[in-house]
Chain A
Amino acid sequence: MLTTLNRVIKSGFMNFWRNGWLSTATVLIMTITLAVWTSIFLTNVVLTSVLNMLAEKVDVSVYFNLDTKESNILSLKSKLEGMKEIASVEYVSAEQALLIFKKSHAGDEVLIKSVQDLPDNPLEASLNILAKDSSNYGVIADFINQSAEKSAISKINYTENKIVIDRLNNIIGVLRQSGAAAGLALAFIAFLVAFNTVRLAIYSSREEITVMKLVGASNWFVRGPFIIEGVLHGVIGSIFSLAIIVAVVAFLGPKLLNFLPEINMINYIGDNFWFLLLFQALGGIILGVFSSWFAVRKYLNV
């Protein structure tokens, strides 16, 4: 039993070596397939965080009439904070609004002066609401409209931005779905290419398989070396593929960082290096073994 296992492993390594360019070609295809799989995975990671960022940047502002008592506003705030759809509520008082206004128009003397000349603060107090998910804004708006403080509200910014928010929501949904579909399709195509490469390679060995069987080899004795070869293709392919991914990220990562400071691909790869290596090696081994197993099976029936 142990001698047989030994022979099968040795034979697998030897075939891999003697098959020369055929092994090289198979490893190359495996590399490409694994690189495609990993790219899809990483793109998904980036896309998800971009979409989350976009979703977070949307919020709803509720403005109150100038004479509204602060206690009224705070009572609405605490009610809103009790809603499970809401991530956070920020209270901006009229004084704070004025400060912010002055700050953001610091260079514009005329405008600031005209505001200061007024007897009262013309700015309204507001609540800035951040939902957990941008699709929740409808529920939140309904809640506000039915609340006791409704009469004190001068406007809800959501109503004005409704179209933008809805559109963004649609875009995010479509992006998520079509991205997932395209990724799956691409991953499947990559799998087919690798699978068929292995099948072709084993097709060229079909007569050898027959001969081995006729000389008295058991199915496992014939299949074993091909499976070892499959493991080798997968492992070597995964190392190459990871090298490619690391090189591409090292090149593209800094550029991505320039316009999306929240997404640091280089750190991500660094933190997840072992996971990625395992992901690729496991993917490669499963792909190689599965393809070999399936391709050999057809010719064993002698």
Chain B
Amino acid sequence: MIRFENISKIYNSHSVALKDVTFEVKPQEFVSLVGRSGAGKSTLLKLLIAEEKPTGGKIFFNSQNVLKMHNRELPSLRRQIGAVFQDFKLLPNKTAYENVAFAMEVAGKSEAQIKSDVCKVLDLVGLKDKMNNFPRELSGGEKQRVAIARAMVHRPSVIVADEPTGNLDPINTWDIIRLLLKINELGTTVILATHDKEIINALERRVVSLENGTVFRDENPGRYILS
């Protein structure tokens, strides 16, 4: 479903993020991406949604070459991928509700459907009573949960979650992980980038380990091992 082929990304001469990365993610897989800070996890996810362009290599999404896509085709690619960004990327001038609804509005969903789905998802992440708060009125963990709600509300075929539990307490963390597992069971592909050793080891799913921008381990089921 998703295939990275000999991907390299050089930001500049003293910052080489990825070198010759090749791996594939099958439909409905649950893949964890691990590696030290700076290993290139976020960069890989940014390449998938075409936020950044690779220096070399190919990326396929449903056998379509992402790099060959015209600017006009990118919105539809991005609507099929639900992204949780490491820095949340919420819209500061919109409330929690509006932020989540935005992902459905861009796809032209009806007002009634947006209303019922957004409320349901906000309830799932435990933020129903905060839905009229602006991001600046939310805690770090609450913002992160809004970001998660926005990534899944439009039922994308893939969810890429970059450190989605970084700001959460253990209970909330497990709630979110269980939510991702449930969505995965219902047929959504999940790519999870995280530093959380405990989660990775408890998941017993495929683990792709990055080091210095290369894949040095790809095991199914895998464990959290850094060289």
Contact = CB atoms under 8 A, between A and B. Distances in A.
A216 B79 contact: yes
B93 A19 contact: yes
Interface residues of A, number: 19
B91 A212 contact: yes
A217 B91 contact: no
Nearest to B85: A214
A56 interface: no
B71 A301 contact: yes
Given A216-B103, A221-B106, A302-B51, A211 B91 contact: yes
A4 B103 CA distance: 13
Interface in A278-302: 301-302
B83 A214 contact: yes
Contact of A214 (B71, B78, B92, B110): B78
A90 interface: no
B102 A215 contact: yes
B110 A215 contact: no
Contact of A216 (B51, B75, B93): B75
Interface in B20-78: 49, 51, 71-72, 74-76, 78
Contact of A3 (B78, B89, B111): B111
Nearest to A19: B93
A52 interface: no
Contacts of A44: none
Given A301-B71, A302-B51, A216 B89 contact: no
Interface of A is mostly: helix
Interface in B94-111: 102-103, 105-108, 110-111
B106 A216 contact: yes
B110 to A, nearest CB: 7
Contacts of A221: 105-106
B145 interface: no
B150 interface: yes
Nearest to B76: A216
A218 B89 CA distance: 17
Contacts of B83: 214-215
B71 A216 contact: no
B108 A215 contact: no
Contacts of B103: 215-216
B78 A15 contact: no
A57 interface: no
B78 A208 contact: no
Contacts of A213: 74-75, 78
B85 to A, nearest CB: 8
B195 to A, nearest CB: 23
B62 to A, nearest CB: 16
B93 A3 contact: no
Interface in A147-177: none
A7 B92 CA distance: 18
Interface of A: 3-4, 7, 15, 18-19, 208, 211-219, 221, 301-302
Ranked nearest first, the 4 interchain pairs of A and B with the lowest CB-CB distance are A216-B78, A216-B79, A217-B106, A211-B89
10 contacts: A4-B108, A15-B93, A208-B91, A208-B92, A212-B91, A214-B85, A215-B78, A215-B106, A216-B79, A218-B72
